[in-house]
Amino acid sequence: MIRKILSVLFAVLILFNLFGYYFVFKCDQVRVKGEMKAMMRSSSFQAHSQEIIILDPATDRDFKMIDKDEILYHGKLYDIITTRNSGSSIIINCVNDTKEEQLLARYNKYSTWVAGMNAPEKSRNNQAMLYHIIKHALINKYSVQPPSTSTMLLFFEPIGKLKSQLLLPDFPPPRLS
Residue 146 counted as domain residue: no
Spatial distance between the Cα atoms of 70 and 63, rounded to a whole number of angstroms: 11
Which pLDDT score, from 0 to 100, does residue 81 have? 87
Half-sphere exposure of 64 (CA within 13 A, CB side): 8
Residue 69 counted as domain residue: yes
Which pLDDT score, from 0 to 100, does residue 140 have? 52
Residue 29 counted as domain residue: no
Which pLDDT score, from 0 to 100, does residue 5 have? 92
Domain count, the chain: 1
Spatial distance between the Cα atoms of 74 and 142, rounded to a whole number of angstroms: 50
Which pLDDT score, from 0 to 100, does residue 48 have? 77
> Do strands 76-86 and 89-96 pair parallel, antiparallel, or not at all (unpaired)?
antiparallel
Residue 11 counted as domain residue: no
Which pLDDT score, from 0 to 100, does residue 147 have? 57
Q: What residue numbers bound the domain in which 65 lies?
A: 45-96
Helix (H, G, I), strand (E, B) or coil at 174: coil
Residue 153 counted as domain residue: no
Residue 77 counted as domain residue: yes
The pLDDT tens digits along the chain (177 residues) read 888 899 999 888 888 877 777 888 888 888 988 888 888 788 777 777 889 888 888 888 888 888 888 888 888 888 888 889 888 889 998 888 888 888 888 888 887 777 766 665 556 666 776 676 666 665 555 555 655 665 565 555 555 565 666 666 677 777 776
- Whole-Å CA distances, 27 to 23, 36, 64: 6, 14, 24
Residue 168 counted as domain residue: no
Residue 1 counted as domain residue: no
